[in-house]
Amino acid sequence: MNLEEVDETTIGRLTDAELRDLRGRAVQLWERTEAGRESVRKRTIGVNTPIDRDKFTRAYLAITAEMSKRALPVHVTPLDQALTKRLVRGVDVSELPPIMLRPAAVCLVGAFVQDPKRSPVVEVWLDDDDYPRDLEKRLVEALLDQTGKDAAVVSEAADGPVVPCYDLVLMPRAATKEEPQPILKRAASMPTDISKPFPSEHAARQMSPGQFADFRRENDKFGKGVHAIWGILPSGKVKLQSVRFSITTFTPEQAKAWLKEHDMKGRLEEASGVKKRLFVKSAEDRVVGGIVYAPDEVDGQGDYTDSDEIWKAMKHYMSSSGGVMKIMHDGHAINTSIVECFQAEEDTVKGGENVPAGAWYLSAYVPPEHESLWKAIKDGRITGFSMAGSADVEEVER
């Protein structure tokens, strides 16, 4: 009898020797399948499963139960341990099937496909711009390792044949086990693509960011309101990675026209709009609070900074202001007392507002004698703090 024919109605016809043989064959089949599943995780190759896993599991359990019923010796195997875990947990994630999300998500394109021996570069095309930057770096490294040629991720594929090299597939985990909650926080805080548009800027990617080791910004490089993001290759060479357009100077249509006029890639990602920091209001305590500055966010002037510089600015302000801040209202500077000031060490929720790690948060008390100011805050006419100061723009040699 074959293993797939075993069930509760046929098990009684088997001899003791047949039971032992079938159980041994089931363990061997499971071990070979697990080895194949590990290969799938490492190299994404196909594995043919000769029997449905649910049917296989039912047959094995029936054989084991019948052997115990006949007082035949039953030794615990890795398969028994795996099935026990499934019974305890209620699920075996390693047995979940892979789920295809998008076939041909990564393809080889360009001259390399048509003439791989003569082409000096392997061009790689991804079917979406939302992949993390680290993925592009790993693709470049993998292709360099196999082909011995430099690889470049391109945003547009020229007409011609392509070679699909990766499907986007959800693979089940190797084992069912609980993970600490921080794994969810890690997934929620994955870095975003540097080429994505900021609230106050339109962006036109010229080269994929995945191949660069670092980046530098040069404001007004190509004229007022047209900024350059330079990508620095591991070799030290500098190339134009992205062009940014200030929304105060360029509409999306004007930015597209500028790109066409200057013979640059014209795929434009429009700015999402400047995000205002709404104050947290306490009517009883007359306290307003909000983020003064968050790291790596472009402000209304097209500038940004990191958490270290924000710390220096906060320290300087608090040591020089004496715990007092000025709020501009109706053309007059009104002094208010600072009641809370900190730089978040990790993502924090304050008064219902998310304060990202490295951000400067401040609260101030508005005294009753400044009722018109308090009303302006409550009415939404004053919407957030602003950090005054000067900055040096870092230049790079090209």
| Res 192: pLDDT | 31
Nearest to 297 by CA among 359, 235, 249: 359
Which has more confidence, 98 or 274? 98
Q: How does pLDDT run across 10-62, given as a tens digit for each residue?
A: 888 889 998 989 888 888 877 777 665 555 444 433 334 556 667 777 888 88
Please say if the pLDDT value at position 277 is more than 60. Answer: no
For tokens 């159980």, what's the residue?
23
| Res 55: pLDDT | 78
Task: With cut-offs at 50, 70 and 90, classify the pLDDT of residue 381.
Answer: low
Q: How does pLDDT run across 155-189, given as a tens digit for each residue?
A: 777 778 899 998 888 888 777 776 665 544 443 33
Which has more confidence, 222 or 395? 222
Q: What percent of the chain has pLDDT over 70?
A: 74
Q: How does pLDDT run across 68-122, given as a tens digit for each residue?
A: 888 888 888 878 877 777 776 677 777 777 888 788 889 999 889 989 888 888 9
Nearest to 293 by CA among 341, 382, 360, 201: 360
Contact 242, 206 (CB under 8 A): yes
Q: How does pLDDT run across 278-290, given as a tens digit for each residue?
A: 565 566 788 888 8
Q: How does pLDDT run across 322-334, given as a tens digit for each residue?
A: 777 777 655 566 7
**What is the residue type of 281?**
K
| Res 254: pLDDT | 93
| Res 329: pLDDT | 54
pTM: 0.35
Please say if the pLDDT value at position 199 is more than 70. Answer: no
Contact 171, 96 (CB under 8 A): no
| Res 398: pLDDT | 40
CA 12, CA 17: separation in Å to the nearest integer?
13
Task: With cut-offs at 50, 70 and 90, classify the pLDDT of residue 258.
Answer: very high
Question: Cα dist. 95→24, 33, 89, 146 in Å?
Answer: 21, 11, 13, 32
| Res 130: pLDDT | 65
| Res 51: pLDDT | 63
CA 243, CA 222: separation in Å to the nearest integer?
9
**What is the residue type of 277?**
R
Which has more confidence, 177 or 293? 293
Question: Cα dist. 294→133, 244, 306, 327 in Å?
Answer: 22, 20, 8, 20
| Res 187: pLDDT | 38
**What is the residue type of 13?**
R
| Res 212: pLDDT | 75
CA quadruple 84, 85, 87, 88: dihedral sign: positive
Nearest to 371 by CA among 286, 282, 279: 286
| Res 296: pLDDT | 63
Task: With cut-offs at 50, 70 and 90, classify the pLDDT of residue 216.
Answer: confident
Please say if the pLDDT value at position 274 is more than 60. Answer: no
| Res 279: pLDDT | 61
Residues 301-327, mean pLDDT to the nearest whole number: 76
Residues 137-163, mean pLDDT to the nearest whole number: 83
Mean pLDDT score of the chain, rounded to an integer? Answer: 76
